[in-house]
Amino acid sequence: MDELKGLIFDIQSYSVHDGPGCRTTVFFMGCPLRCEWCANPEGWQAKQRMMYRMTKCVHDKEGCIRCVKRCPYQAVSAGADGKGPLEIDWEKCKTCETFECTQACLKEAMVLCGKWYTIPALMKIFERDRHYWGHTGGVTLSGGDAVAQKDFTRALLKRCQEAYIHTAIETSACFPQEQFLSVLQYVNFAFVDIKHMDAAKHQEQTGVSNEQILKNVKALAQDSWPGRLIIRIPIIPGYNDNDENIVATAKFVKDAGLSEINVLPFHRLGDSKWKQCGMVYPYREQESPEPEQMEHIQKLIQAQGLICYTGSDTPF
């Protein structure tokens, strides 16, 4: 088990938004969804990648071209006049496995996203942070989606349980049911997003149908699993915030035997990361929902007899 390795793109200590108490949140690479509002697109691929943080680049100011010289694929160029921002052929970058540009960059403008960790290495970090968790905190696995790396994730969660560490997970639930349930058996607290109840609309904005997600939510709710499951709805104005979809989601949650929904207002925090990954953020002009709309949505859900957390409210 100790020989297993997981690909992680971030570890955040002292997190208070990803489960009960103060937590250490681990961000796994690999996700089956491609949500167009995603805040962590660097976590989509289950492989290492380069990210270019233009604001840290000194090419324009100092004429640095270390990455240009180092790239074996000639994917980075200094532009026609040698000035201005670097030009990157992201298609060529997709085939790279050496990431020499990140080694050449002295300003951390080009950085390697994704680091391999063993279970003992992560447990050492958890034991370091444990003092700050108190009696209510623990570890949260986020991403990306940790279930995508099922063998490593299952073994890590099992080790946490053996060490009496409270475990939480944020997952899309978009996996074969056996894989999903085999990982969740070692989880105390789970968040699952339901983006839209209409399968076609779900696929339109996430790249996948919601069929497997809904099946897995029902299966987990009806299983002997003793954990707590919270359904989250990211509220995307003009996409899933209409009354019909909100009520349909609430009824599904109630019929599944669950009682809690957490609605989260859309934000544009992912915009810079999309740029760093060489992509255009589809929701760059989208505004967050008005507080009145969030309150209206909360009332629709509460009318179905469910608990609904929104705004400054949290399920913990």
Q: What is the CATH number of the domain that holds 302?
A: 3.20.20.70
In a domain, 143, yes or no: yes
The verdict on 120 and 265 lying in the same domain is yes
- The 3-state DSSP composition of the chain as helix, strand, coil percent (nearest 5) reads 35, 20, 45
The verdict on 275 and 149 lying in the same domain is yes
The verdict on 55 and 177 lying in the same domain is no
Q: Which residue has the tokens 């209206």?
A: 296
The segments of the chain whose pLDDT lies below 50 read none
> Which residues form the domain of 59?
49-113
Q: Which of 113, 138, 144, 114 is nearest to 125 (CA)?
A: 138
Q: How far is the C-alpha of 137 from the C-alpha of 168, rounded, in Å? A: 10
In a domain, 315, yes or no: no
Is pTM beyond 0.85 here?
Answer: yes
Cβ neighbours of residue 128 under 8 Å, at least 6 residues apart? none
Q: How far is the C-alpha of 173 from the C-alpha of 170, rounded, in Å? A: 9
Instruction: Give the other-Cβ count within 10 Å of 155's Cβ.
Output: 18
Q: How far is the C-alpha of 173 from the C-alpha of 137, rounded, in Å? A: 23
The verdict on 126 and 10 lying in the same domain is yes
In a domain, 314, yes or no: no
The verdict on 60 and 20 lying in the same domain is no
Note the Cα 71 to chain centre separation in Å. Answer: 29
SS3 of 49, please?
strand
In a domain, 316, yes or no: no
95, 113, 131 — which closes off a domain? 113
- Return the half-sphere exposure (C-beta side, CA atoms, 13 A cut-off) of residue 238: 7
Handedness of CA 131, 159, 149, 114 (dihedral sign): positive
Q: Please, are residues 19 and 138 in contact by the beta-carbon 8 Å criterion?
A: yes
In a domain, 232, yes or no: yes
The tally of domains found in the chain comes to 2
Q: Which residue has the tokens 């691929």?
A: 45
113, 148, 169 — which closes off a domain? 113
113, 132, 151 — which closes off a domain? 113
We report the CATH number of the domain holding residue 88 as: 3.30.70
Instruction: Give the other-Cβ count within 10 Å of 120's Cβ.
Output: 10
Return the axis-axis angle of helices 291-302 and 243-255, rounded to nearest 10°: 40
